[in-house]
Structure 1
Amino acid sequence: MNTLALTGLSLRVQDLERQLAFYRDLLGLEVLHSEGGRSALSPAGRSFTLTLVHEPTAPLRPQPTLGLYHFALLLPERKALAAVFRRLIEARYPNFQGASDHGVSEALYLADPEGNGIELYRDRPREQWPFHGDKLAMVSKRLDLDNLLAESAHSAPLDPETTLGHIHLHVASLDEAEHFFRQFGMEVMQGDYPGARFLAADGYHHHVGINLWARGRTAPPESTGLLEYTLWLEPSRKERLSSLTLSDPNGARVRVEGR
């Protein structure tokens, strides 16, 4: 049984209609409700909620700066990843950034219309994950995109069972960020990746990635981008926390929920 899951993420956005055209119309998330400049979306399986908070005067966050590197949507199978990739190609979506085979997963990278990083990925079975001894050994190799596309002859939006698999953050200090995320029951799964660490609970490859690649650069106050994210914790871990609303090392709110 899993003891931790990511169940929500909120972004401050400058152009709500353009962002809805991407997340709703292209990726296929459903609008749950929209009121007072806040629009909540979710896949049909309701595993997570993406909330867009409209602030039309917000400056666009420069990249890279401390804060969100990307959030990652986990597809349930390779065919589903291929189908949404084909949909992006057919739409000629311009903000595709690359693709990698990480050993544990196959990943596509893109940005939404305001530059927020997104990873679309599928996991390999755990028995196929690469290890050096007892240490996870994720890699970044070229992904064969033609081979991936061969999995699905037809395009489709995100699978209804898509989940929020992990988030990856630019941080100022790896040690500080690691200390923060350990209180939720995460441990370092891989610490030898240049300038980055990957933490998770339940033996997963990572629920959170942290890196130094922004070199400490900060965005203007009230910029677009990550406002908060929600963690589901099993009760025994939830009860150990001093508060159910915290601030991460970059100042984003972290809300904790559970049974």
Structure 2
Amino acid sequence: MTADAPDTPLPDETRLGRVALRVEDLDEMTAFYRRVVGLDVLERSDAAATLGAGDDPVLRLVRDAAAAPRDRSQAGLFHSAFRVPSRTALGAALERVRERWTLSGASDHDVSEALYLSDPEDNGVEIYRDRPREAWPRSADGTAEMGTYPLDLESLAEASDGAADAPTGTDLGHVHLEATSLPDARSFYVDALGFGVQVEDRGALFLAAGDYHHHVGVNTWNRRTSPAGGRGLSWFEIVVPDTETLVAVRDRLADAGVESREIDRGIEVRDPDDVAVRLRAE
């Protein structure tokens, strides 16, 4: 089932930037995202690591040994989704997962092909590649239609070039969250922030700027009842095309009663489940 667009939509050029995780074992987590996901270590200290593809950072890991594990009742991260630029790169990711980790799922979503796994601290991870946009099925109103079907893993493995690294062009395609309330999530992400609803179905919202299939997913499948906290998701970043857009979004959030604070290169706000969302301009 599809739904209507926001009154003031985010520009089509809006994208995601980075996702940050609070972690207990920085060494183990860095090794996982390096060896299995294939990201490069761009910066590293005793307290944190930044990983990405080429020179582009997509993941920040911050050591917080004092943080409690995320409680089963808490909202937060369902998965971080790292998008690779080709089926060849996704095939290589499948090889790395099979050799070095455990694959927990794989799906053909019509618009994309996706691999699913969990990192050493049980944060969900998706690695996926998009099909060409002109091949995406569309509803009558132009929104993307997404299915869930078995993925042909052997065909995907045959496409691999055996690369140990995720190629340049790999980015954070979307973030999928677990929420306590879909109406509250819609109020924040659609009405205040300006994402459009691509799909609303079976306890989930798939939200996007422009005609992308989704930049943010939100679901209530596991019936979370308390705000986000503990280890796991610290914040994720939305990148808008220019400073004028950032100012307009900040003002729109303020009009909706959403407080923001200034951070380096942008602002930070909190969604209804206390998830930190950072916004910056290109």
TM-score, length of structure 2 as denominator length: 0.83
Identity fraction in percent: 39
1:158 is matched with 166
| Structure 2 residue matching 1:161: 3-state secondary structure | coil
- SS of structure 2 residue aligned to 1:121: strand
Residue in structure 1 matched with residue 121 of structure 2 by the alignment? 114
In 1, the alpha carbon distance for the partners of 2:152 and 2:73 equals 27
Count of residues in correspondence between the two structures: 254
Matches within 5 A, 1:33-48: 33-35=43-45, 37-46=47-56, 48=57
Distance 1:213 1:179 in 2: 19
d(CA) in 1 for partners of 2:99, 2:144: 36
Which residue, out of 243, 248, 254, partners 2:271?
248
> Paired residue for 1:22?
32
The one-letter code matched in structure 2 to 1:159 is P
Give the 5 Å matches for 1:73-152. 73-91=82-100, 93-94=101-102, 96-134=103-141, 135-152=143-160
* CA offset digits 1:27-78 (Å, max 9, x no partner): 33222223351222221140x4311111123232255741100010111011
Match of 1:214 among 201, 222, 229: 222
Moved more, 248-257 or 207-216: 248-257
Residue of structure 2 in register with 1:49 after alignment: 58
Runs of 4+ in 1 over 6 A off after TM superposition: none
Q: Is the 8 A contact 1:184 1:233 kept in 2?
A: no
Question: Whole-Å Cα distance in 1 between the matches of residues 46 and 164 of structure 2?
Answer: 31
User: Deviations along 1:177-196, whole A, 9 cap, x unmatched?
Assistant: 122112333110111x2110
Q: Secondary structure at the match of 1:239?
A: helix
5+ residue gaps, structure 2: 1-10, 252-259, 261-266
Q: Which segments of 5 or more consecutive residues in structure 1 lack a partner in the other structure? A: none
* Amino acid corresponding to residue 180 of structure 1 in structure 2: F
For 1:107, the aligned partner's letter is: A
Give matches, 1:190-205, under 5 Å: 190-191=199-200, 193-205=201-213
1: CA distance, partners of 2:46 / 2:269: 24
Structure 1 pair 2–19 and aligned structure 2 pair: CA distance change class (3 A):
same
Three-state SS of the structure 2 residue aligned to 1:18 is helix
- How many Å separate the matches in 2 of 1:42 and 1:127? 28
After TM superposition, the score normalised by the length of structure 1 is: 0.90
Matched, 1:257 2:264: no
